[in-house]
Chain A
């Protein structure tokens, strides 16, 4: 059995008699210490997949297993990092990172030691007593990452963690994450809609179709990290994935007969523009 298993997952959202099939049928196995990225157009169901592993959303059918145990509820063995950081504004940086240890009843002394260690790993020792609103976006997300890691979870689920950051900070954070991985061998499921980011970080990239999501392609990347964005194979792979994602976008332009998109031209264009996976400026 794999470390993380999603077996025939299907998710239908029901809202006011309207049914949205978010995820059609996804099976995915992830090994220990792997970093798997999930790529796909916006609204295709990436967040939903992550939230099902976290136990925050229940699949309509199918099962999720983490380390042999079926996921039925959220727990500290599955940490999550949010795009909007989701830090507790009434707590200091230290207290934010300490939250998980506190609710899990870890003794005070061990708590302090562990928080100190992760403050150092994310380079925020000097900001331990700062308030969240005093931090920059990149620093906030480093708190978010430390807060998830300090619990020693089996897997960290990252939902577009660098999506709210500017291009430069984003690259710094990606490099920082790789350094952290050197020290912790953390298993990570990483949702992004940046192809560049996925190729830069992942052991494996899972490409989803547009909604209802299915797995379109899985790409292994055996190259060591850190990777050179300018290398020919990096560029080539990036291009290949972009083409695959473009297909997803081109397909809904044709408005297939079974599911015509009920969107006006302007809105459709806007969404498509946002979806363009290379629309981020992070690559130099």
Chain B
């Protein structure tokens, strides 16, 4: 056709193919959505054109109820998300290193951790919000969501350290502290990153859910729950789309960092 021949060896051909398939996939999605919206015919499922118009308006002007633009809501959610993450990182990583290192601490903390782990992070939301404030509560929910995958991966990473690596360090003159910082920590880093990768996905779901319960100061979850009570369904859909894109970006970022480091260390 038109004398064009697809060449698997050609980088640009491969990229073009990928983009075409992606575009086709998204177009199919929009098409199916449109048809379904017409068939089902409820205001709760608006057609794509309405959602598109709502999106332009929300990013440019914002909604009248909160007076915030979509950018502001995004920033509010991201800020809480990062706060929860920073808190989880600061607690889970050192704790995981210690628990992995000390058999006593492992045995001591295991029953408590196993007891707390099955509780869905969002189930804590009412408690956290009441015990702290509407702003800090959701951050704590994210903290719980990220904490467990990060902690368990860190512990696992410490246990997976090759004894010959720590032995090598000792015979090269490393003191206990140096063995910890120069061998155990870098050995565990890929596992910590993997914990972050999983934690980011969970944490992002937590923040939206928590914001639905904590109606203050904007945020995507708050925006969605407010607009749905007002039956502004196109607005709700814009909120859903933004959650997805931000989720892809945040987890994608860790994923990218993880791959970069794994490649440097020769891990598959």
Contacts and interface: CB of A to CB of B under 8 A. Distances in A.
B8 interface: no
Nearest to A102: B182
A145 B165 CA distance: 15
A54 B171 contact: yes
B265 A79 contact: no
Given A89-B266, A90-B186, A90-B264, A104 B173 contact: yes
A251 interface: no
Most buried by A among B165, B173, B265: B173
Report the interface size class on chain B.
20 to 34
B171 A84 contact: no
Contacts of A54: 167, 171
Interface in B137-180: 162, 164-165, 167-175, 178
B226 interface: no
B165 A88 contact: yes
Nearest to B187: A90
B251 interface: no
Interface in B248-268: 264-267
A75 interface: yes
Interface residues of A, number: 30
A151 B174 CA distance: 12
A80 B171 CA distance: 6
Given A86-B164, A132-B266, A76 B171 contact: yes
A151 B162 CA distance: 22
B232 interface: no
Contacts of A46: none
A84 to B, nearest CB: 6
A89 B267 CA distance: 9
B74 interface: no
A131 B266 contact: yes
Contacts of B175: 103
Given A86-B162, A132-B266, A100 B189 contact: no
Interface string A49-74: 00100111000000000000000001
Given A82-B167, A86-B168, A147-B172, 11 more contacts: A54-B171, A75-B171, A75-B173, A76-B171, A89-B266, A90-B264, A90-B265, A99-B172, A100-B173, A102-B182, A131-B264
